[in-house]
Protein backbone atom coordinates (compact mmCIF):
# COMPACT_ATOMS: atom_id res chain seq x y z
CA UNK A 1 0.00 0.00 0.00
CA UNK A 2 2.79 2.40 0.88
CA UNK A 3 4.50 1.64 -2.43
CA UNK A 4 1.25 2.34 -4.30
CA UNK A 5 0.80 5.63 -2.45
CA UNK A 6 4.34 6.65 -3.25
CA UNK A 7 3.78 5.80 -6.92
CA UNK A 8 0.52 7.76 -7.18
CA UNK A 9 1.84 10.82 -5.37
CA UNK A 10 4.37 11.91 -8.02
CA UNK A 11 1.75 11.37 -10.74
CA UNK A 12 -0.71 13.58 -8.82
CA UNK A 13 1.98 16.25 -8.39
CA UNK A 14 2.75 16.04 -12.11
CA UNK A 15 -0.92 16.52 -13.06
CA UNK A 16 -1.20 19.45 -10.65
CA UNK A 17 1.90 21.04 -12.14
CA UNK A 18 0.56 20.58 -15.68
CA UNK A 19 -2.80 22.12 -14.76
CA UNK A 20 -1.04 25.04 -13.07
CA UNK A 21 1.08 25.56 -16.17
CA UNK A 22 -1.99 25.57 -18.39
CA UNK A 23 -3.70 28.10 -16.12
CA UNK A 24 -0.64 30.36 -16.25
CA UNK A 25 -0.60 30.13 -20.04
CA UNK A 26 -4.32 30.97 -20.14
CA UNK A 27 -3.80 34.00 -17.89
CA UNK A 28 -0.83 35.10 -19.98
CA UNK A 29 -2.99 34.77 -23.08
CA UNK A 30 -5.66 37.00 -21.53
CA UNK A 31 -3.07 39.61 -20.59
CA UNK A 32 -1.71 39.52 -24.11
CA UNK A 33 -5.20 40.16 -25.47
CA UNK A 34 -5.63 43.03 -23.03
CA UNK A 35 -2.47 44.63 -24.33
CA UNK A 36 -3.59 44.38 -27.94
CA UNK A 37 -7.31 43.66 -28.38
CA UNK A 38 -7.06 43.08 -32.13
CA UNK A 39 -3.96 40.87 -32.15
CA UNK A 40 -5.90 37.62 -32.67
CA UNK A 41 -6.64 38.50 -36.30
CA UNK A 42 -2.91 38.93 -36.99
CA UNK A 43 -2.04 35.29 -36.41
CA UNK A 44 -0.96 33.24 -39.44
CA UNK A 45 -0.56 36.33 -41.61
CA UNK A 46 2.66 37.33 -43.35
CA UNK A 47 3.82 40.95 -43.11
CA UNK A 48 2.85 41.41 -46.77
CA UNK A 49 -0.75 40.41 -46.04
CA UNK A 50 -0.75 42.55 -42.90
CA UNK A 51 0.20 45.55 -45.06
CA UNK A 52 -2.33 44.72 -47.78
CA UNK A 53 -5.23 44.35 -45.36
CA UNK A 54 -4.26 47.60 -43.64
CA UNK A 55 -4.13 49.41 -46.98
CA UNK A 56 -7.55 48.18 -48.09
CA UNK A 57 -9.21 48.77 -44.71
CA UNK A 58 -7.62 52.22 -44.43
CA UNK A 59 -8.79 53.24 -47.91
CA UNK A 60 -12.37 52.18 -47.14
CA UNK A 61 -12.32 53.94 -43.77
CA UNK A 62 -11.05 57.21 -45.20
CA UNK A 63 -13.49 57.22 -48.12
CA UNK A 64 -16.54 56.62 -45.93
CA UNK A 65 -15.56 59.13 -43.26
CA UNK A 66 -14.79 61.98 -45.67
CA UNK A 67 -17.89 61.43 -47.78
CA UNK A 68 -20.12 61.71 -44.72
CA UNK A 69 -18.68 65.06 -43.60
CA UNK A 70 -17.85 66.54 -47.04
CA UNK A 71 -20.46 69.40 -46.91
CA UNK A 72 -19.20 70.48 -43.48
CA UNK A 73 -15.61 70.26 -44.67
CA UNK A 74 -16.30 72.48 -47.67
CA UNK A 75 -18.06 75.03 -45.45
CA UNK A 76 -15.13 75.10 -43.02
CA UNK A 77 -12.56 75.63 -45.77
CA UNK A 78 -14.50 78.56 -47.27
CA UNK A 79 -14.52 80.36 -43.93
CA UNK A 80 -10.90 79.47 -43.15
CA UNK A 81 -9.56 81.22 -46.24
CA UNK A 82 -11.61 84.43 -45.90
CA UNK A 83 -11.98 87.33 -43.46
CA UNK A 84 -15.65 86.56 -42.84
CA UNK A 85 -16.65 85.91 -39.23
CA UNK A 86 -17.70 82.35 -38.55
CA UNK A 87 -20.88 81.36 -36.73
CA UNK A 88 -23.29 78.44 -36.86
CA UNK A 89 -25.87 80.68 -38.53
CA UNK A 90 -23.41 81.79 -41.22
CA UNK A 91 -22.33 78.19 -41.81
CA UNK A 92 -25.94 77.09 -42.31
CA UNK A 93 -26.53 80.08 -44.60
CA UNK A 94 -23.53 79.08 -46.72
CA UNK A 95 -24.87 75.53 -47.08
CA UNK A 96 -28.36 76.76 -47.98
CA UNK A 97 -27.06 79.30 -50.52
CA UNK A 98 -24.80 76.69 -52.13
CA UNK A 99 -27.75 74.34 -52.44
CA UNK A 100 -30.00 77.01 -53.98
CA UNK A 101 -27.36 78.38 -56.34
CA UNK A 102 -25.64 75.23 -57.58
CA UNK A 103 -27.84 72.34 -56.47
CA UNK A 104 -27.65 69.67 -53.78
CA UNK A 105 -24.58 67.93 -55.18
CA UNK A 106 -22.63 71.20 -55.00
CA UNK A 107 -22.32 70.52 -51.28
CA UNK A 108 -19.95 67.72 -52.28
CA UNK A 109 -17.97 69.87 -54.73
CA UNK A 110 -14.33 68.95 -54.46
CA UNK A 111 -15.21 65.54 -53.02
CA UNK A 112 -13.76 63.81 -56.09
CA UNK A 113 -10.46 65.50 -55.28
CA UNK A 114 -10.99 64.56 -51.64
CA UNK A 115 -11.49 60.91 -52.61
CA UNK A 116 -8.44 60.99 -54.88
CA UNK A 117 -6.48 62.21 -51.88
CA UNK A 118 -8.10 60.50 -48.91
CA UNK A 119 -8.13 56.96 -50.32
CA UNK A 120 -4.33 56.77 -50.72
CA UNK A 121 -3.81 59.05 -47.69
CA UNK A 122 -5.86 56.94 -45.28
CA UNK A 123 -4.55 53.69 -46.76
CA UNK A 124 -0.94 54.82 -46.30
CA UNK A 125 -1.56 56.36 -42.88
CA UNK A 126 -3.19 53.31 -41.29
CA UNK A 127 -0.76 50.90 -42.94
CA UNK A 128 2.22 53.07 -41.96
CA UNK A 129 0.92 53.20 -38.40
CA UNK A 130 0.85 49.40 -38.22
CA UNK A 131 4.40 49.23 -39.58
CA UNK A 132 5.76 51.98 -37.33
CA UNK A 133 4.25 50.20 -34.32
CA UNK A 134 6.04 47.03 -35.41
CA UNK A 135 9.35 48.82 -35.98
CA UNK A 136 9.16 50.70 -32.66
CA UNK A 137 7.88 47.55 -30.89
CA UNK A 138 4.96 49.46 -29.41
CA UNK A 139 2.95 46.32 -28.60
CA UNK A 140 5.86 44.07 -27.67
CA UNK A 141 4.52 40.91 -25.96
CA UNK A 142 5.15 40.77 -22.23
CA UNK A 143 5.91 44.47 -21.90
CA UNK A 144 3.70 47.41 -21.03
CA UNK A 145 3.20 49.65 -24.10
CA UNK A 146 5.02 52.99 -23.90
CA UNK A 147 2.67 56.00 -24.26
CA UNK A 148 5.44 57.99 -25.92
CA UNK A 149 6.19 55.29 -28.47
CA UNK A 150 2.47 55.03 -29.19
CA UNK A 151 2.33 58.77 -29.89
CA UNK A 152 5.52 58.75 -31.97
CA UNK A 153 4.16 55.90 -34.13
CA UNK A 154 1.02 57.94 -34.81
CA UNK A 155 3.00 61.08 -35.68
CA UNK A 156 5.31 59.19 -38.05
CA UNK A 157 2.31 57.60 -39.75
CA UNK A 158 0.80 61.05 -40.31
CA UNK A 159 4.04 62.50 -41.68
CA UNK A 160 4.51 59.52 -44.01
CA UNK A 161 1.03 59.70 -45.53
CA UNK A 162 0.89 63.51 -45.72
CA UNK A 163 4.24 63.75 -47.47
CA UNK A 164 3.25 61.22 -50.13
CA UNK A 165 -0.18 62.71 -50.89
CA UNK A 166 0.20 66.45 -50.24
CA UNK A 167 -0.40 67.71 -53.83
CA UNK A 168 -3.77 65.98 -53.76
CA UNK A 169 -4.67 67.87 -50.59
CA UNK A 170 -3.77 71.17 -52.26
CA UNK A 171 -5.90 70.29 -55.30
CA UNK A 172 -8.84 69.43 -53.08
CA UNK A 173 -8.58 72.79 -51.26
CA UNK A 174 -8.49 74.68 -54.57
CA UNK A 175 -11.58 72.87 -55.86
CA UNK A 176 -13.48 73.45 -52.61
CA UNK A 177 -13.17 77.26 -52.82
CA UNK A 178 -13.70 77.83 -56.56
CA UNK A 179 -16.58 77.37 -58.99
CA UNK A 180 -16.77 74.80 -61.78
CA UNK A 181 -15.53 77.22 -64.44
CA UNK A 182 -12.07 77.59 -62.95
CA UNK A 183 -11.27 73.95 -62.21
CA UNK A 184 -13.43 71.36 -63.95
CA UNK A 185 -11.60 68.37 -62.53
CA UNK A 186 -8.66 67.42 -60.36
CA UNK A 187 -6.55 66.94 -63.49
CA UNK A 188 -7.34 70.53 -64.51
CA UNK A 189 -6.09 71.74 -61.12
CA UNK A 190 -2.70 70.09 -61.59
CA UNK A 191 -2.34 71.21 -65.21
CA UNK A 192 -3.15 74.86 -64.44
CA UNK A 193 -0.96 75.00 -61.35
CA UNK A 194 1.95 73.44 -63.25
CA UNK A 195 1.61 75.89 -66.17
CA UNK A 196 0.65 79.09 -64.33
CA UNK A 197 2.39 78.81 -60.96
CA UNK A 198 5.12 76.21 -61.36
CA UNK A 199 5.58 72.71 -59.87
CA UNK A 200 6.83 74.08 -56.53
CA UNK A 201 3.33 75.40 -55.85
CA UNK A 202 2.10 71.81 -55.52
CA UNK A 203 3.84 71.75 -52.14
CA UNK A 204 2.91 75.26 -51.02
CA UNK A 205 1.79 75.10 -47.40
CA UNK A 206 3.62 71.82 -46.83
CA UNK A 207 5.55 73.07 -43.76
CA UNK A 208 2.52 74.09 -41.66
CA UNK A 209 0.81 70.90 -42.76
CA UNK A 210 3.61 68.71 -41.40
CA UNK A 211 3.92 70.81 -38.25
CA UNK A 212 0.20 70.34 -37.73
CA UNK A 213 0.00 66.65 -38.57
CA UNK A 214 2.68 65.70 -36.01
CA UNK A 215 0.52 66.57 -32.96
CA UNK A 216 -2.75 65.77 -34.75
CA UNK A 217 -1.88 62.24 -35.87
CA UNK A 218 0.18 61.55 -32.76
CA UNK A 219 -2.57 62.55 -30.32
CA UNK A 220 -5.34 60.93 -32.38
CA UNK A 221 -3.68 57.51 -32.64
CA UNK A 222 -2.38 57.72 -29.06
CA UNK A 223 -5.83 58.53 -27.65
CA UNK A 224 -7.63 55.87 -29.68
CA UNK A 225 -5.12 53.10 -28.94
CA UNK A 226 -4.99 54.04 -25.24
CA UNK A 227 -8.78 53.95 -24.89
CA UNK A 228 -8.92 50.55 -26.63
CA UNK A 229 -6.25 49.11 -24.33
CA UNK A 230 -7.92 50.59 -21.26
CA UNK A 231 -11.23 49.06 -22.29
CA UNK A 232 -9.57 45.65 -22.71
CA UNK A 233 -7.92 45.92 -19.29
CA UNK A 234 -11.25 46.63 -17.61
CA UNK A 235 -13.51 44.22 -19.48
CA UNK A 236 -11.20 41.51 -20.91
CA UNK A 237 -13.14 41.96 -24.15
CA UNK A 238 -12.60 43.68 -27.47
CA UNK A 239 -14.55 46.94 -27.93
CA UNK A 240 -17.58 46.68 -30.20
CA UNK A 241 -18.23 48.92 -33.21
CA UNK A 242 -20.11 51.57 -31.22
CA UNK A 243 -17.39 51.74 -28.58
CA UNK A 244 -14.73 52.07 -31.27
CA UNK A 245 -16.76 54.89 -32.82
CA UNK A 246 -16.87 56.71 -29.47
CA UNK A 247 -13.14 56.17 -28.85
CA UNK A 248 -12.39 57.52 -32.33
CA UNK A 249 -14.62 60.56 -31.74
CA UNK A 250 -12.75 61.42 -28.55
CA UNK A 251 -9.43 60.96 -30.37
CA UNK A 252 -10.60 63.25 -33.16
CA UNK A 253 -11.71 65.94 -30.73
CA UNK A 254 -8.32 66.09 -29.03
CA UNK A 255 -6.34 65.73 -32.25
CA UNK A 256 -8.21 68.46 -34.18
CA UNK A 257 -8.00 70.96 -31.32
CA UNK A 258 -4.24 70.46 -30.86
CA UNK A 259 -3.23 71.67 -34.32
CA UNK A 260 -6.05 73.88 -35.57
CA UNK A 261 -4.16 77.21 -36.03
CA UNK A 262 -1.72 75.43 -38.33
CA UNK A 263 -4.68 74.14 -40.34
CA UNK A 264 -5.73 77.77 -40.87
CA UNK A 265 -2.20 78.62 -42.06
CA UNK A 266 -2.15 75.63 -44.39
CA UNK A 267 -5.42 76.60 -46.08
CA UNK A 268 -4.43 80.25 -46.46
CA UNK A 269 -1.15 79.32 -48.13
CA UNK A 270 -2.74 76.65 -50.35
CA UNK A 271 -5.39 79.03 -51.73
CA UNK A 272 -3.35 82.25 -51.85
CA UNK A 273 -3.41 82.48 -55.66
CA UNK A 274 -7.18 81.99 -55.67
CA UNK A 275 -7.98 84.58 -52.99
CA UNK A 276 -5.36 87.07 -54.19
CA UNK A 277 -3.79 87.42 -50.73
CA UNK A 278 -0.09 86.61 -50.35
CA UNK A 279 0.98 84.34 -47.51
CA UNK A 280 4.68 83.51 -47.72
CA UNK A 281 5.78 81.91 -44.45
CA UNK A 282 4.20 80.02 -41.56
CA UNK A 283 5.19 82.58 -38.91
CA UNK A 284 4.22 85.48 -41.16
CA UNK A 285 0.81 83.98 -41.84
CA UNK A 286 0.18 83.29 -38.16
CA UNK A 287 1.08 86.88 -37.23
CA UNK A 288 -0.97 88.40 -40.04
CA UNK A 289 -4.10 86.39 -39.28
CA UNK A 290 -3.78 87.17 -35.58
CA UNK A 291 -3.33 90.92 -36.15
CA UNK A 292 -6.10 91.27 -38.74
CA UNK A 293 -8.67 88.82 -37.37
CA UNK A 294 -7.69 87.98 -33.82
CA UNK A 295 -7.17 84.71 -31.98
CA UNK A 296 -10.67 83.24 -31.73
CA UNK A 297 -12.11 84.73 -34.94
CA UNK A 298 -8.89 84.23 -36.86
CA UNK A 299 -6.59 81.40 -35.83
CA UNK A 300 -9.45 79.36 -34.37
CA UNK A 301 -12.09 80.31 -36.94
CA UNK A 302 -14.37 77.36 -37.63
CA UNK A 303 -13.07 75.30 -34.70
CA UNK A 304 -16.61 74.81 -33.38
CA UNK A 305 -17.53 73.16 -36.70
CA UNK A 306 -14.42 71.01 -36.41
CA UNK A 307 -15.67 69.85 -33.02
CA UNK A 308 -18.73 68.54 -34.87
CA UNK A 309 -17.24 67.12 -38.04
CA UNK A 310 -13.87 66.08 -36.58
CA UNK A 311 -15.15 63.54 -34.04
CA UNK A 312 -17.67 62.21 -36.59
CA UNK A 313 -15.00 61.80 -39.26
CA UNK A 314 -12.28 60.33 -37.05
CA UNK A 315 -14.76 58.13 -35.19
CA UNK A 316 -16.09 56.64 -38.44
CA UNK A 317 -12.57 56.29 -39.80
CA UNK A 318 -11.10 54.41 -36.81
CA UNK A 319 -14.17 52.23 -36.29
CA UNK A 320 -14.41 51.32 -39.98
CA UNK A 321 -10.69 50.58 -40.21
CA UNK A 322 -10.68 48.24 -37.22
CA UNK A 323 -13.85 46.45 -38.31
CA UNK A 324 -12.76 45.99 -41.92
CA UNK A 325 -9.23 45.01 -40.94
CA UNK A 326 -10.47 42.22 -38.67
CA UNK A 327 -12.92 41.09 -41.37
CA UNK A 328 -10.29 41.06 -44.14
CA UNK A 329 -7.76 39.19 -42.02
CA UNK A 330 -10.24 36.40 -41.47
CA UNK A 331 -10.72 35.84 -45.20
CA UNK A 332 -8.97 32.76 -46.67
CA UNK A 333 -7.47 35.03 -49.36
CA UNK A 334 -5.14 36.62 -46.82
CA UNK A 335 -4.50 33.64 -44.56
CA UNK A 336 -1.11 31.97 -44.93
CA UNK A 337 -1.33 28.31 -45.82
pLDDT 10s digits, 233-254:
899 988 998 999 999 999 999 9
pLDDT level of residue 39 (50, 70, 90 thresholds)? low
* pLDDT tens by residue, 198-225: 998 899 889 999 999 999 999 999 999 9
Is the pLDDT higher at 211 or at 39? 211
Asked whether the predicted pLDDT for residue 4 surpasses 60, the reply is no
pLDDT level of residue 40 (50, 70, 90 thresholds)? low
Asked whether the predicted pLDDT for residue 191 surpasses 60, the reply is yes
pLDDT level of residue 158 (50, 70, 90 thresholds)? very high
Q: Give ∠ CA 294-295-298 in degrees, rounded to 5.
A: 65
Is the pLDDT higher at 71 or at 224? 224
Is the pLDDT higher at 47 or at 150? 150
Asked whether the predicted pLDDT for residue 23 surpasses 90, the reply is no
Lowest-pLDDT choice from 36-40, 67-71, 313-317: 36-40
- Residue closest to 241 by CA, chosen among 191, 147, 316: 316
pLDDT level of residue 96 (50, 70, 90 thresholds)? confident
What's the rounded Cα separation, in Å, for the pair 304 and 76?
10
Q: What is the per-residue pLDDT for 43?
A: 60
Asked whether the predicted pLDDT for residue 25 surpasses 60, the reply is no
Q: What is the per-residue pLDDT for 37?
A: 56
Asked whether the predicted pLDDT for residue 155 surpasses 90, the reply is yes
Lowest-pLDDT choice from 20-34, 88-102, 300-314: 20-34
pLDDT level of residue 160 (50, 70, 90 thresholds)? very high
pTM of the model: 0.75
Q: Considering the chain, what is the average pLDDT of its residues? A: 82
**312-318 average pLDDT score:** 93
Amino acid sequence: MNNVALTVLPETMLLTTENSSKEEQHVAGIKGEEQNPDQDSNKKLSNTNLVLTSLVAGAMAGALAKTVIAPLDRTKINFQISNRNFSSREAIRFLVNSHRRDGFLSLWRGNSATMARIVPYAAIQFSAHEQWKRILEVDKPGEKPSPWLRMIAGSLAGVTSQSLTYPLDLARARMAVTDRLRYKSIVTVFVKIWKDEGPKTLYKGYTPTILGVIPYAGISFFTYETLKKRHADLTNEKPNAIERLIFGAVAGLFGQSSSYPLDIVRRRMQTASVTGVKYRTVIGTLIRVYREEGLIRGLYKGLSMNWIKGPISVGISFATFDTMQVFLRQLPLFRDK
